[in-house]
Structure 1
Amino acid sequence: MAQAAQGGEKKTVLTTFTILADMARNVAGDQLKVVSITKPGAEIHGYQPTPSDIVNARGADLILNNGLNLERWFEKFTGQLGGGKAIPTVILTEGITPISIASDAYKGKPNPHAWMSPKNALIYVENIRKAFVKLDPAGAKVFNTNAKKYSDQIRAVDAQLQSKLSALPRSERALVTCEGAFSYLARDYGLTEHYLWPVNAESSQGTPRQVKEVVDAVRNNKIPAVFCESTVPLNGMKQVAKEAGAKFGGVLYVDSLTDARGVVPTYLILLQKDADTILKGLTSK
């Protein structure tokens, strides 16, 4: 990949969480420095920025955020930057048609987890590419080449997921999770969806009513396995599995990558890992 201009300092791009940072690095190559505000494994909905986050952000040349009410702390964060420097901000879900949340306190609001659809991820990448070309026109060739290559990789993973998940018997295409973070994935691959709570910021355990509704759904539909996300406690969903006579099928990843030594160090690996976990959970007897 091309290097930044010799002797010139790379411009800094700040993202709100690790998945956006990974996408951005794939487009930036060596031309820009990309930093995530939240760290690997962090719960991003209710994140509380630290003083060091604010200090680091003041040196940024561009901020990328998800939008769709995901980073509810973000407006307050940018308001604390000060310093007289207006940092351009790009919302990466611009151009995506959101799925509305169907229940509870967030009913009717957009589901923010749009990146869980590889098809939507292509829109993220295009928005990143355009933002980078505007930020650093000299790197346009690098950004355009990298964006095309990365988009091709996303399309290949989309085809893999379609192949894997379409192998599920129609009666077993049900995805039960703690957070309603998989609506876009479920839509893309023909899965029905049930969850304890719609957004992590609302809960981390599940109310008795939420637990009962999911237990009933699992029993009535004879769903063989349930799952939960890596950034929240597993107790509520393990209770659902026990009461409904299902098995706990494993941990899914959605809001955060792991570090380089973990199981999902990149966005594309995250998608593949989740698909494999879902497939194994719903088909293993």
Structure 2
Amino acid sequence: MLTRRLAIAGALALGLSLPFALPAAAQDAKIPVVASFSILGDFVKEVGGDRVSVTTLVGPNGDAHVFQPAPADAKKVAAAQIVFVNGLGFEGWIDRLVKASGTKAEIVVATKGITPREMADEDEDDHAAHDHKDHDHDHAKGEHDHDHAGHDHGGIDPHAWQSVANAEIYVANIRDALIAADPAGKAAYEANASAYTAELQALDAQVKAAMAAIPESRRRIITSHDAFGYFGAAYGIEFIAPQGVSTESEASAKDVARIIRQIKAEKIPAVFMENISDPRLVKRIAKETNAKIGGELFSDALSDDKGPASTYIDMMKNNITQLSSALSS
């Protein structure tokens, strides 16, 4: 990147036309971009194709809520031409990282245009999922506030990708940002985005059909953190979480007891673990309620290449398979 900048600076200083001043190899170089987490990185790869080189900060099975950027991450951001972020308060550490890196990259918020989902508070919602709010607030004031700043999402749910219709908006924003940075690639980015959007539309129909096939009375589950609100709203499943939107906060004994009572009273059929969460809490709840433990759901991160959710589309297919298996019978 530095060499390219020097070449550009030299060309401008000499008053040369840039396309002729740059060697062919430099013109053909891939655009260096950074994505904040693995799901967003997959979107960027699909749209960017072979014209971009994508570096992901929070990798497979990583938890962006508790991510601690290292000096190497600042170097990655410094070298990028575009930095794609989720926004909606998801990456509480990103502003500090961008500032520390001194990057000149364009910062692109991939959720632009998405209608945010508000997190219900306990005054509005009797579900135990939201009784953690005071606990989370107290924790946010504690000694870890500096290290884990940003976990209080200001009442906004940042997990917008859990609705496939929203994923299509991510793709459009990524396409537009790449075209702005690399006008010569406009046709390629538009073609890639169009093809991938068609795949997403087919996926959306598949998710809707799978969830509609589950008896309505069984469309209620417990998950280990509150990441599926957009999925629930889009596809008619009620997700109840003993922890908050932050995986870093812990459910209190009072929260857990309330969840257990609710499962027993309402005969909630299944509890699920996520790839980024500690499984012990869910296992304890399942043991005390006899609720079925479903398979692993992927919420905030993809699996590695050997796992069942190495792409966004595979992640969503895995999740609906796990939900259907646990709730249909």
In 2: Cα distance, 1:257 partner to 1:120 partner: 17
- 1:52 corresponds to which residue? 72
Indicate if the aligned counterparts of 1:228 and 1:251 stay in contact, CA closer than 8 A: yes
Counterpart position of 1:254: 299
Output the CA distance in 2 between the equivalents of 1:222 and 1:125. 39
Segments of structure 1 that go 5 or more residues without pairing to the other structure are: none
Instruction: Using structure 2 for the length normalisation, give the TM-score.
Output: 0.81
1:126-168 C-alpha deviation (Å, 9 max, x unpaired) = 1001100101000000000100100110110111111111111
Q: Which residue of 2 aligns with 1:109?
A: 155
* Corresponding residue for residue 19 of structure 1: 39
CA distance in 1, matches of 2:288, 2:163: 31
2: distance between equivalents of 1:107 and 1:29? 32
Q: Which residue of 1 aligns with 2:258?
A: 213
1:168 corresponds to: 214
Structure 2: segments with no counterpart, 5+ residues: 1-22, 121-129, 138-151
Give the share of equivalent positions with the same residue, in percent. Answer: 34
In 1, Cα distance between the equivalents of 2:263 and 2:154? Answer: 24
> Is contact 2:88-2:157 (8 Å) kept?
yes
Q: Which residue of 1 aligns with 2:193?
A: 147
Residue of structure 2 equivalent to 1:157: 203
Q: Which has the larger radius of gyration?
A: 2
Secondary structure of 2:224's counterpart equals strand
Contact 1:69 1:112 in 2 (8 A): yes
Distance in 2 of aligned mates of 1:14 and 1:107: 22
Write the distance in 1 (CA, Å) between the matches of 2:117 and 2:219. Answer: 19
The amino acid across from 1:282 in the alignment is: L
Which stretch of the first structure deviates more once superposed, 97-106 or 61-70?
97-106
Q: What's the CA shift for 1:223?
A: 1.3
CA distance in 1, matches of 2:204, 2:88: 23
Query: How far did 1:117 drift?
Result: 0.3
**In 1, distance between residues paired with 2:104 and 2:276?**
32
The equivalent of 1:224 in structure 2 is: 269
- Matched residue of 1:36: which SS? strand
- 1:275 is paired with a residue whose SS is helix
Instruction: Tell me the alpha carbon deviations over residues 188-212 of structure 1, each in whole angstroms, 9 at most, x when there is no partner.
Output: 1111221111223442x42112212
Q: Which segment is superposed worse, 65-74 or 205-214?
A: 205-214
From the superposition, tell whether residues 120 and 192 of structure 1 become closer, same or farther in structure 2 (CA, over 3 Å).
same
Report the TM-score, using the length of structure 1 for normalisation.
0.93
Aligned AA (1:227): F
Which shifted more, 149-158 or 193-202?
A: 193-202
> How far 1:86 moved relative to its partner?
2.0
Residues 202-261 of structure 1, C-alpha deviations (whole Å, 9 max, x = no match): 42x421122122212211221111112111111111111111221211211011112212
Identify which of 173, 180, 184 aligns with 1:138.
Answer: 184
Shift of 1:34: 1.2
Question: Which residue is equivalent to 2:124?
Answer: none
Question: Following superposition, which runs of at least 4 residues in structure 1 exceed 3 angstroms of deviation?
Answer: 105-108
Hey, what's the Cα distance between the residues in 2 that align with 1:245 and 1:86? 54
| 2:54 partner letter | V
- Between the aligned partners of 1:257 and 1:48, the Cα distance in structure 2 is 18
After TM superposition, list the pairs within 5 Å mapping 1:237-252 onto structure 2. Answer: 237-252=282-297
1:181 aligns with 2:227: yes
Does residue 94 of structure 2 align to residue 74 of structure 1?
yes
Q: Could you tell me how far apart the structure 2 residues matched to 1:275 and 1:54 are?
A: 36
Post-superposition Cα deviations, 1:56-78, rounded to whole Å, max 9, x if no partner, equal: 22110000000111100111111
Q: Is the 8 A contact 1:100 1:107 kept in 2?
A: no
Q: Match for 1:232: what amino acid?
A: S
CA RMSD of aligned residues (A): 1.5
